[in-house]
Amino acid sequence: MAEKINAVKGMNDILPPDSARWEWLEDKVRALMGRHAYRMIRTPIVEPTALFVRGTGETTDIVEKEMYSFEDRLNGEQLTLRPENTPGVVRAAIEHNLTYDGGKRLYYMGPMFRHERPQRGRYRQFYQLGAEVLGFPGPEVDAELMVLAHRLLAGLGLRNIRVEMNSLGVPTERRAHREALVAYFEQHGAVLDADAQRRLHANPLRILDTKNPAMQEMVQGAPKLLDYLGEGSLKHLETVQRLLDACGVPWAVNARLVRGLDYYSHTVFEFITDELGAQGTLCGGGRYDGLFEVLGGKPTPAVGWGMGLERVLELVRQQAATFEAPAPDAYAIVPSADALPQVMATLQALRAEGVSVQMHAGSGDGMGSMKSQFKKADASGARYALIFGPDELAQGAVTVKALRDGSGAQVQRPLAALAEWAVTLQS
Ligand code: ATP
Ligand code: MG
């Protein structure tokens, strides 16, 4: 036998029956986005590397160490598998002048790629749902986006998720804070780890979201950006908070929640659970009013979030009631291959009515014994077996046997009326 080939480490196959959960989640997402009048955007998975270097930021973990980058073998272009999709959405918005006639509310779902150490809730290919609102400067869209994420998670039956938020103000406020921050960190130089040393001048804000326990206490005492906010920024923040209150979304301020890049402003937030260990951030987002300009577009206010769907589904598995694996409504038992033309034509008619039917498939030299066919029918989870026996077919009928209600009841139904009956089964 030839040598086996396995999936790339940290990249997962999503298989049935688990894939049904994914479909369930995706259906919920589409319905909810539709109710909020958000429209789908799909951008390429591969983008020019420069898009992320500029749009995600040179001093971020993603660009410093997590990107799958390669050179196009044919023309030497520098390309990267998208590690996130906000830069792609903004690139597309600039390229197609999407906001020429007003703001846009967009969402996407799809795979992202980051070269991380694989562990529960952290993969090298993972799926993100994202929502991005382009062209609106007001706090009401920040709140709308947060309410949307909250509704989605609550609608999936999830509990005990807290919302942390902060404000990054505007660039002038951040500059004043940054000076105080660098001075503070310099005073505590002995506690800074290598990452922090490196970021001290390039991106001191990012030191605040360090995961190093040895730096936590020092970081707790650092100057808070909130104390540097002017009236306008405070009003923006308070409006978001008031609107969250009105919509029943509980929130807490976390002064250390940051996105350390100059194109961020005002609101930043995360949705966090304590029930997934260290990978507890389900959703992160914020306002990025400066990003359009960084990517060569006209100044355009924007705000959005990204949600990790593996983590969301892991929490669904942990918290929500049991999930029923999907099953067909009926299983077609075919005693003899001679009946196949009639069987397949009948099943087409049932499916056209929306009934889910699985047809028995033979072994190549026959359809198999009735016993083995009934076993397969049982295993399929179908509620009924449709038995296309030669005697019944000769009379223009099939036998319908109940598989799940314990009765084992069998009735003959005329083929002509089968669809009418089957429609009442639809799951
Ligand atoms: P973390 O601090 O967990 O590394 P992050 O700040 O890198 O998260 P974002 O870039 O804000 O995450 O991405 C948004 C969401 O995508 C995260 O909140 C998380 O739910 C999910 N996510 C990020 N990286 C991964 C990954 N490697 N595997 C699975 N989900 C991920
Ligand atoms: Mg990360």
Per residue of the chain (427 residues), give pLDDT as tens: 999 999 999 999 999 999 999 999 999 999 999 999 999 999 999 999 999 999 999 988 899 999 999 999 999 999 999 999 999 999 999 999 999 999 999 999 999 999 999 999 999 999 999 999 999 999 999 999 999 999 999 999 999 999 999 999 999 999 999 999 999 999 999 999 998 998 898 889 889 988 899 999 999 999 999 999 999 999 999 999 999 999 999 999 999 898 777 789 999 999 999 999 999 999 999 999 999 999 999 999 999 999 999 999 999 999 987 788 899 999 999 999 999 999 999 999 999 999 999 999 998 889 999 999 999 999 999 999 999 999 999 999 999 999 998 888 999 999 999 988 888 876 5
83 Cα to the center of ligand 2, angstroms: 10
Neighbour count for residue 114 (Cβ, 10 Å): 20
CATH of 330-425, one of 3.40.50.970, 3.30.540.10, 3.90.79.10, 3.40.50.800: 3.40.50.800
Ligand 1, pocket-test mutation among 62, 68, 128, most atoms within 8 A of CB: 128
Q: What is the pLDDT of residue 120?
A: 95
360 Cα to the center of ligand 1, angstroms: 43
Tell the CATH superfamily of the 18-169+229-319 domain. Bira Bifunctional Protein; Domain 2 (3.30.930.10)
**Residue with the nearest Cα to atom 12 of ligand 1?**
284
- The residue ranges of every structural domain in the chain are 18-169+229-319, 330-425
**Residue with the nearest Cα to atom 28 of ligand 1?**
122
Neighbour count for residue 291 (Cβ, 10 Å): 30
Q: What is the pLDDT of residue 426?
A: 66
Q: What is the pLDDT of residue 262?
A: 77
Q: What is the pLDDT of residue 361?
A: 97
Q: What is the pLDDT of residue 29?
A: 98
128 in contact with ligand 1, CB cutoff 6 A:
yes
What is the rounded distance in angstroms from the CA atom of residue 92 to the CA atom of residue 97? Answer: 8
**Residue with the nearest Cα to atom 9 of ligand 1?**
284
Q: What is the pLDDT of residue 427?
A: 55
Ligand 1, pocket-test mutation among 126, 259, 269, most atoms within 8 A of CB: 126
62 Cα to the center of ligand 2, angstroms: 7
260 in contact with ligand 1, CB cutoff 6 A:
no
